[in-house]
Structure 1
Amino acid sequence: MTMYEERDSYLKLTTSAKKRTVAAPWFLTGMGDPYQMDIPENAKACYDPRQKILHIREPERGSSTTITPSVRVRIDHAEDFHDIEFIDLEDPTKLLAGIYINEGVLSFEDKQLFAFSNTLMFQSLCRFLASPVFNPWVKLPHIQNDRAFYQCNLEAGELWLNPEIEGATVVDRVHSEITYLTFEISTPLPAWNKDTRQDDMLPPGRYDAEVIKADHDTGDVITVRADGWIKDGTELCTFHIPFAPLYERMQDGTAPAGAFSYRIPFDPREHTDLALRAAAPQAKTGLFRKLLGN
């Protein structure tokens, strides 16, 4: 039986031969109810309502989950999947941006909602991996740099781009400010039909469109995606629409634009600082100092 080597931490862990469940009032479902977290048999767990830390680990798998009000950190060497998801400080039912390492490939999750610095996100990842509470394992996640867009060295805290991939020049890519928009056209517009894999014309109509491609260096929108009916309204297809000609129509008034949705700026440092402070050992005070003779 393989056991993953654990790092020392101050957490008071309990172990049971039976499967258990635990719920933390600071980690909620979308409906606002506490998640019922499974603690497998022979797994270790710590529930600290004072510091608001829930921690579950399985030494046989090299897996752990640590949750505070600002972040959820999962490390799983058996599945070769590790992730960090930040939690909305105002609404604990909502998860914000995230960081993933899946089969050695590092990626950043913006959910088409958030704008952030990849460098700051990566620095938060390294800080969590350096914490024996959030990463209780001696072994770090393995990185498969040869096929990854973002390449990194977790021990050195270095992040860079894969030089073999064209079209990207900066680690801190600029996200388009716009995520969704509505527009209406009265005449067909050139587009690419995803279903037929051919150039096509977007029929007249009103559309809800999602930004799917933007310039990494400037954030300028390149392509939007929208669904439209063709063949006398009998077939629904997905169209990729070049934004430049669409924007020209918006400017001259022939394609009136409706509502726009914009990205939300996100800085992971506040969430990371709060989580690491919550996970820090608490200083002994008052009666405890006297009892220990300090």
Structure 2
Amino acid sequence: MLEERDSHLKLTTSHKKRTVAAPWFLTGLGDPYQLEILPGSKACYDPNNKILHVRDNERGISHTVTPSVRVRLDHEQDFHDIDFIDLEDATQNLAGVYINEGVLSFEDHNRFEFSNTLMFQSVCRLLASPVFNPWTELPRIRNENAFYQCDLATGELWLNPEMEDAPKNVDKVHSHIVYLSFETSEPIPCWNKDTRHDDILPPGRYDAEVIKSDHDTGDVITIKADGWTADRSNLYTFHIPFEPLYELIQSGAVPAGDFGYRVPFDPRGHADMALRATQPPPKGVFGKLFKR
């Protein structure tokens, strides 16, 4: 059993299995998510400050949801995730940080660009709060074989110097392009994911997405697109080197349609909003006035 930290949350202990929902915690379909509370678990539903918090101290599981962030800690499964939520659409996660079996990773949903450093520091600020992390113990970090090295207590983030072909900067430069459409009658060398062999992209119109880019420059390296063979007998997934394709697009040999681009995201505002909402109320006369 983990050692609990003191917090101002007014917790109630459930003696039977039940669920709790909040209008700011929605499923992808827009319905209130039914968060499970097991017997012996503690919960807090604060509609004024918009805080939903459930913790199971015996298993080391907590779930804290505000309109701007969602923090789930699971020491039993050794999996922890922190998601930043779209303030205009509560069904959408913007970006996140995951710690799976002690290994740190960043989730951009192939839509956002952000600073890894700012993302990690924002997560550390959240985990320093007894609301978002109700225990004295932080998630376990295993640095020895991980790509990103970190210390949750100090907020330090660095790259593993032992990794082969390691990038130069801890802050990944995301490719600006997310997807594009193009039409080709030119033979374009590619790799067929299904046959696992080099191939030629058949003539046609394609909707493609970026699957690989340079960590330090953001230059797109590889895109992927689905397409039929010439006799339309098989549908394959093709991995296409981007640079020669882009040269054909620039020369006009391959007409291009829509380009989709990443959206910049700064997690600090979302973390600030969540931490302000979870601060203990002022004490004394001003505190009473504040509650009215």
Q: 2:57 maps to what in 1?
A: 59
Offset at residue 60 of structure 1 (A):
0.7
| Structure 1 unaligned residues grouped into runs of 5+ | none
With over 3 angstroms needed to count, the CA separation of the structure-2 counterparts of 1:60 and 1:239, relative to structure 1, is same
Offset at residue 229 of structure 1 (A):
1.3
CA–CA distance in structure 2, aligned partners of residues 65 and 271 of structure 1: 17
1:211 aligns with 2:210: yes
Q: Quick check: 222-231 or 207-216, which moved more?
A: 222-231
Offset at residue 168 of structure 1 (A):
1.1
1:191 aligns with 2:190: yes
With over 3 angstroms needed to count, the CA separation of the structure-2 counterparts of 1:163 and 1:192, relative to structure 1, is same
CA–CA distance in structure 1, aligned partners of residues 207 and 161 of structure 2: 36
With over 3 angstroms needed to count, the CA separation of the structure-2 counterparts of 1:242 and 1:287, relative to structure 1, is closer
CA–CA distance in structure 1, aligned partners of residues 14 and 188 of structure 2: 64
Offset at residue 283 of structure 1 (A):
1.2
Choose the corresponding residue for 2:42, options 41, 44, 47.
44
> CA-to-partner distance for each residue in 1:133-182, whole Å, 9 max, x for gaps?
00001111111112211111112211011112214111101000000000
Q: 2:79 maps to what in 1?
A: 81
1:278 aligns with 2:277: yes
CA–CA distance in structure 2, aligned partners of residues 66 and 57 of structure 1: 8
Offset at residue 90 of structure 1 (A):
1.1
Q: 1:31 maps to what in 2?
A: 29
CA–CA distance in structure 1, aligned partners of residues 150 and 137 of structure 2: 16
With over 3 angstroms needed to count, the CA separation of the structure-2 counterparts of 1:193 and 1:49, relative to structure 1, is same
CA–CA distance in structure 2, aligned partners of residues 236 and 33 of structure 1: 36
Q: Percent identity?
A: 69
Offset at residue 285 of structure 1 (A):
5.8
Q: 1:229 maps to what in 2?
A: 228
* Count of residues paired in the alignment: 288
Task: Report 1:132-143 matches (<5 A).
Answer: 132-143=130-141
The 8 Å contact of residues 202 and 230 in structure 2, kept in 1 or not, is answered as no
CA–CA distance in structure 1, aligned partners of residues 102 and 229 of structure 2: 42
Q: Secondary structure at the match of 1:227?
A: strand
Offset at residue 30 of structure 1 (A):
2.2
The 8 Å contact of residues 189 and 201 in structure 2, kept in 1 or not, is answered as yes
C-alpha RMSD over aligned residues = 1.4
CA–CA distance in structure 2, aligned partners of residues 198 and 183 of structure 1: 23
> CA-to-partner distance for each residue in 1:232-281, whole Å, 9 max, x for gaps?
11111111111111011101111100001110110000000000000000
CA–CA distance in structure 1, aligned partners of residues 69 and 190 of structure 2: 41
Q: Quick check: 19-28 or 62-71, which moved more?
A: 19-28
Q: Secondary structure at the match of 2:272?
A: helix
The 8 Å contact of residues 281 and 287 in structure 2, kept in 1 or not, is answered as no
CA–CA distance in structure 2, aligned partners of residues 246 and 287 of structure 1: 65
| TM-score normalised by length of structure 2 | 0.95
Q: Secondary structure at the match of 1:272?
A: helix
Offset at residue 12 of structure 1 (A):
0.8
The 8 Å contact of residues 118 and 267 in structure 2, kept in 1 or not, is answered as yes
Offset at residue 7 of structure 1 (A):
0.7
With over 3 angstroms needed to count, the CA separation of the structure-2 counterparts of 1:278 and 1:184, relative to structure 1, is same
Offset at residue 187 of structure 1 (A):
2.1
Give every structure 1 segment of 4 or more consecutive aligned residues whose post-TM-superposition deviation is greater than 2 Å: 284-290
Q: 2:155 maps to what in 1?
A: 157
| Structure 2 unaligned residues grouped into runs of 5+ | none
